[in-house]
Amino acid sequence: MSAAKPRKRASGWSLFIYVALAAYAASAIFPVLLVVYNSIKSKKAIFGQPLSLPGPGTIDFRGYETVWEAANFPRYFLNSGIVTLGSLGLTLLFGVMAAYALTEFRFRMSRWLSLYITIGLMVPIRLGTVAILKLVMALGLMNTPTALILVYTAMNLPVTVLILSVFMNTVSQDLKNAARVDGAGEYRILFGHVIPLIRPAIATVAVFTMIPVWNDLWFPLILANSEATKTVILGAQQFVGQYFKDWNAMLAALTLSIVPTLILYLLFSRQLIAGLTRGAVK
Amino acid sequence: MADLTLSNIVKNYGPVEVLKNIDLHVPDGEFVVFVGPSGCGKSTLLRAIAGLEDLSGGSIKIGGEDVADRAPAQRGIAMVFQTYALYPHKSVFDNMAYGLKLARRPRDQIRAEVMKVAKILELEALLDRKPAQLSGGQRQRVAIGRAIVRDPKVFLFDEPLSNLDAALRGQMRIEIADLHARLKATMVYVTHDQIEAMTMADRIVVLNAGRIEQQGAPLELYHHPANLFVAGFLGAPSMNFVPARAIGASAAGAEIEVEGIGRLTVPVDGAPAAGTALTLGLRPHDFSLERGGMDCEIDTVLVEPLGHETIVYGALRDGGPRMTIALEGGPLLRTGVKTRFRFDPADCHLFGPDGIAYRRRKQHFTPLASGASEQGANP
Amino acid sequence: MHSQARRKFWIIASLLAPALAIYTVFMIYPLVGTLQTTFYQTDGKLQVFAGLDNYRKLFFEPLFSHQLLNALGNNFYFFFIHMLVQNPIGIALAAVLSVPTLRFKGLFRSIFFLPTMLSVVVVGFIWQLILSPLWGVSSGLLGALHLGFLFKPWLGLEGTALTTLSLMSVWQNIGIPMMLIYAALLSIPDEILDAARIDGANGWELFWGTKLPLIMPTIALTAILTFIGNFNAFDLVFATQGALGLPNFSTDILGTFMFRTFFGNNLQQGDLNLGATIAMVMFFIILVGVSIYLFVVQRRITSYQL
């Protein structure tokens, strides 16, 4: 009897915990789902029964038709893709190289260089916007994806170098030395041996650098505001600003900008969270 | 196959001297073991030979050629690492073939070489496996195989057995010794395990604080340690040291007085002047209950019966130096009792105030003419 | 020896060069350039050296100093709401998630972190729509709980707009402190927790007495990350309330103030130099925050080797 008592209390407590967690989970996901499923409902249903799921009588793709006619979302997706993948590629390539140089070799400047790169972790790049704008104009890169790619690469390099350095330090020194004895050059050791071993870390860094780039409004707004170079977020922002009376169109545009992130997240959330918690998650 | 000559090797990390003027010659075909406590520089020295560590000064010659300015792969060395360092994403075959592939050897030649070595090491059945699918012993054999495939002038081993369990370590020790006998290659082997050093080496090099303390055949070092460090480092349990004082010299050796033992004459050359503070060294295995011309009384604190021998821990007189004594077999001894142990003064070691040993007169073994010493004596 | 050293030098240089070049040109140089811009004023097409005049204007001309003080105050309010709401809830969620016997852990973790992955702009719009009296979702939900009388157009009222925006931002960003603290909690060795349990600590004491002191450094880290993020915020306000921080500047923060001053709007002309000056004020504030963290907080908090 006496042993059963605390157990009972514990199960009441844990019921409370599960209810609280479920409630919080609902509040985290419901607003997103609400927008997504209302985007394929008729205007009447959106306002009449905003909470109910789309059914046979209420399904309506008019919002998407308006978006298709009024804005060039395929183009925006392409732009976002180019900018995101372009900066991702450069960030990873150069970040991996720099992290390898800073972790593998001891040289006089290495401490100072690490410190120099750390500045970028603490200072938001936006504060340099005025000079970035001048620089981009002087280089003739206004309204080009190149400008965004370079800025985002600079923005993401510090955190990339930092995280990759941590993981590169875990690669066995013996293994690298074995490759050296076997006659591999430093670049071959980096790309042939070190990178395959820290692939999970690279995947984490990849998602981490992609998300803020894909989601950013500031730099597209300032550096690439033209119709031809707009990103999805900027396109959606301007579209929603213009069509704030057409709820179908607004919800459709928002859904379009949510869905890719959502898919990416569903695919990688496990790896992402594992990386975030530095592999402590089993 | 080639010899290895190190001259005046210096290595600094900032102001810290890790290697101090190391000179060493390893003749062709010799198996040399570097031993020393951790941090003594033995691994650094090995990595310097491999070219993995930049030198602050000195030259390295392999087969007469100065290799100090060459990349590791161009030095004609192969290395076996403590953690095996197998490429986890490559199969056993590709691990062994990698060096030859990078050297752009023809495919069939690579295949032939790898198969030949796989046969020697009985790895043929494992060639398609990944390192993760191998046991510790198999991994170490692959690592050795990878070294052999390179057909190096000098083999380097960096504590290759320290990640294996005791039984496997004993087995691999025999395999490596056997490999050396068959390949007759020059091998440099780093370990902190003195049993490995004593059993495998043609020559042991004892390092301490970046310096060579002594080098020589294993039994030479065991029976004639040059100084306190080597005497204390080699042999398990380690040598007992007791403070002593010189009182005179005779043709028979040095006469000394030891508190708790009395006067005795130790047969050594170059007797010290009377009054000199000395250290008497007594190996635990040189004591017995019956034999020997001297005796001393030990306060036993702990008795460890191991079956084939019995280890006794205690102190010489009350509060005197700690003593360890190893007796053959399993005599009945009780803890907390004063016991008399006997020893022969000819077995004693004597060290001067600077820690340098006086040369003992007793000959404990006969070196073989070939230079290869008698093996298998486990002290 | 020399050619080996030279080869190594070139390898290191070639590995570092691309990253350092892009980082220097597009991150460090713009920061320095922005600082330089603050000492000049625009005269037609010319840049004229003006010393500290931009700073004088910003701090002492009422037109700007009022906006600056307002934005600064709003920014601090924004930050305090985060510290008060986001971090405690984040810690609580992490603590619950780290309970070894909890089920559906992975699912909860993924859902809690999901809003953090979304664009700030999109989050702003989603909440704007949900809170809109036009749509009636929130008034309807409150009505179902018989709390309909509580409903107001929170984003449109001067008194509640900033709090509402802060809570929207909390909703989105809570994943970050949660994950960092979750990781810190997981990295506490089981032996320590077992030892505390054997010493008689219950779940509550275990958390307050053992876990919390051990994760203090991480909590401090989340505080400084929140600070940097908050004083750099822009997208959320800009997307939902516009560059003017409607209603009546009640949600104007430094980010929108800088943007508005830089590009101009219907109230004032764009001023590149003054915009840069505001950026430098933001830089200074963040610098002070980071310095307090590095030199005061981090030194006071004991980090334990786990």
How is residue B358 annotated by DSSP?
Answer: P
Q: B337 pLDDT band (50/70/90 cuts)?
A: confident
Inter-chain residue contact A24 with C31, CB threshold 8 Å: no
**What residues 165-194 of chain C have any CB closer than 8 A to a CB of chain A?**
171, 179-180, 182-183, 186-187
Alpha-helix runs per DSSP H in C2-82: 2-23, 29-37, 53-60, 62-81
State the complex-level ipTM: 0.86
- What pLDDT does A278 receive? 59
Q: In what order do the strands lie in the sheet with B77-80?
A: B77-80, B154-158, B186-190, B31-35, B203-208, B211-216
Q: B221 pLDDT band (50/70/90 cuts)?
A: very high
pLDDT, tens digit (0-9, with 9 covering 90-100), for A83-99: 999 999 999 999 999 99
pLDDT at position B132 over 70: yes
- What pLDDT does B353 receive? 92
C7 to chain B: which residues are within 8 Å by CB?
71
CA atoms of A102 and A153, how far apart (whole Å): 18
CA atoms of C121 and A230, how far apart (whole Å): 15
CA atoms of B335 and A227, how far apart (whole Å): 93
- What pLDDT does B1 receive? 64
Other beta carbons within 10 angstroms of residue B88's beta carbon come to 14
**What residues 37-56 of chain B have any CB closer than 8 A to a CB of chain C?**
54-55
- What pLDDT does C154 receive? 79
Sign of CA pseudo-dihedral B88, B89, B94, B98: negative
What are the angstrom distances between the C-alpha of C195 and each of C100, C200, C201, C206? 16, 9, 9, 10
CA atoms of C38 and C220, how far apart (whole Å): 33
pLDDT at position B6 over 90: yes
Other beta carbons within 10 angstroms of residue C53's beta carbon come to 16
pLDDT at position B101 over 80: yes
Least confident of A147-151, B165-169, B318-322, C118-122: B318-322
- Contact status, residue C168 vs residue C241, Cβ threshold 8 Å: no
**Pair of tokens at residue C212:** 């919390």
- Distance of residue B13 Cα from the nearest chain C Cα, in angstroms: 16
Higher pLDDT, A151 or A7: A151
CA C280: distance to chain centroid?
A: 17
Other chains touching A, judged by 3 or more CB pairs under 8 Å:
B, C
pLDDT at position C147 over 80: no
- What pLDDT does B365 receive? 60
CA atoms of C298 and C164, how far apart (whole Å): 32
Q: A281 pLDDT band (50/70/90 cuts)?
A: very low
Q: Which of A172, A174, A183 sits opposite B73 (nearest CB)?
A: A183
| Residue bearing tokens 């306002």 | A47
The alpha carbon torsion through A71, A76, A78, A81 (nearest 10 deg) reads -160
- What pLDDT does A4 receive? 39
- What pLDDT does B364 receive? 67
Percent of chain B exceeding pLDDT 70 equals 96
Average pLDDT, chain C: 85
**Pair of tokens at residue A211:** 């998300």
Going from N- to C-terminal start, the domains of chain B cover 4-231, 237-351
- Coil/strand/helix, residue B10: strand
Average pLDDT value for residue range B302-326: 88
B47 to chain A: which residues are within 8 Å by CB?
177
- Distance of residue A125 Cα from the nearest chain C Cα, in angstroms: 6
pLDDT, tens digit (0-9, with 9 covering 90-100), for B158-180: 999 988 888 888 888 998 998 89
pLDDT at position B374 over 50: no
C-interface mutation test, from B54, B59, B74, most C Cβ less than 10 A away: B54
Amino acid at C111: I
- What pLDDT does A115 receive? 86
Average pLDDT value for residue range A24-30: 90
Parts of chain C belonging to CATH 1.10.3720.10: 58-300
CATH 3.40.50.300 is right for the domain spanning B4-231: yes
Inter-chain residue contact B68 with C3, CB threshold 8 Å: no
**Pair of tokens at residue A193:** 């041996």
**The residue count for chain B:** 379
Residue among C173, C77, C168, C157 at smallest CA distance from C128: C168
- What pLDDT does B368 receive? 54
pLDDT at position B4 over 90: yes
Considering the four listed CATH numbers 1.10.10.10, 1.10.3720.10, 3.90.1530.10, 3.30.565.10, the one that applies to the domain covering C58-300 is 1.10.3720.10
pLDDT, tens digit (0-9, with 9 covering 90-100), for B261-309: 889 999 998 878 888 899 999 999 999 888 778 888 888 889 999 888 9
User: B–C: how many Cβ contacts below 8 A?
Assistant: 14
The alpha carbon torsion through C192, C197, C200, C204 (nearest 10 deg) reads 100
- Coil/strand/helix, residue A144: coil
For residue B135, what is the enclosing H or E element? none
3-state secondary structure B269-307: CCCCCCCCEEEEEECHHHCECCCCCEEEEEEEEEEEECC
Peptide bond into A220 cis (omega under 30): no
CA atoms of B377 and B309, how far apart (whole Å): 16
Residue A47 CB burial class (10 angstroms; 0-12, 13-18, ≥19):
middle
**Pair of tokens at residue B273:** 């002047």
User: Nearest-CA residue of chain A relative to B156?
Assistant: A181
- What pLDDT does B60 receive? 94
- Partners of B326 in beta bridges: B311
pLDDT at position C44 over 80: no
Least confident of A7-16, B32-41, B189-198, B214-223: A7-16
Least confident of A2-11, B230-239, C280-289: A2-11
pLDDT at position A120 over 80: yes
Higher pLDDT, C32 or C141: C32
Q: B188 pLDDT band (50/70/90 cuts)?
A: very high
CA atoms of A12 and A18, how far apart (whole Å): 10
pLDDT at position C141 over 50: yes
**The residue count for chain A:** 282
Give residue A15's region: left, alpha or beta (phi > 0; psi -120 to 50). alpha
CA atoms of B91 and B101, how far apart (whole Å): 14
Average pLDDT, chain B: 88
| Residue bearing tokens 């990350």 | C225
Q: C109 pLDDT band (50/70/90 cuts)?
A: confident
pLDDT at position B206 over 90: yes
Q: C2 pLDDT band (50/70/90 cuts)?
A: low
Amino acid at C2: H
Inter-chain residue contact C1 with B68, CB threshold 8 Å: yes
pLDDT at position A2 over 50: no
Q: A6 pLDDT band (50/70/90 cuts)?
A: very low
- What pLDDT does A82 receive? 95
Going from N- to C-terminal start, the domains of chain A cover 73-196
Cα R_g (chain A), whole angstroms:
24
- What pLDDT does A202 receive? 87
What are the angstrom distances between the C-alpha of B192 and each of A20, B6, B33, B40, B139? 57, 21, 10, 10, 21
| Residue bearing tokens 């708790």 | B260
- What pLDDT does A276 receive? 67
A123 to chain C: which residues are within 8 Å by CB?
31, 283, 286-287
- Distance of residue A85 Cα from the nearest chain B Cα, in angstroms: 27
Q: For residue C6, how many C-alpha atoms fall within 13 Å in the half-sphere facing its CB? A: 4
- What pLDDT does C306 receive? 58
- Contact status, residue B18 vs residue B44, Cβ threshold 8 Å: yes
pLDDT at position A1 over 50: no
| Residue bearing tokens 């922002």 | A237
Average pLDDT value for residue range B100-126: 92
Considering the four listed CATH numbers 3.40.50.300, 3.40.50.10800, 3.80.10.10, 1.10.3720.10, the one that applies to the domain covering A73-196 is 1.10.3720.10
Other chains touching C, judged by 3 or more CB pairs under 8 Å:
A, B
What is the CATH number assigned to the segment(s) B237-351?
2.40.50.140
Strands B4-13 and B16-26: antiparallel
Q: B109 pLDDT band (50/70/90 cuts)?
A: very high
- What pLDDT does A280 receive? 41
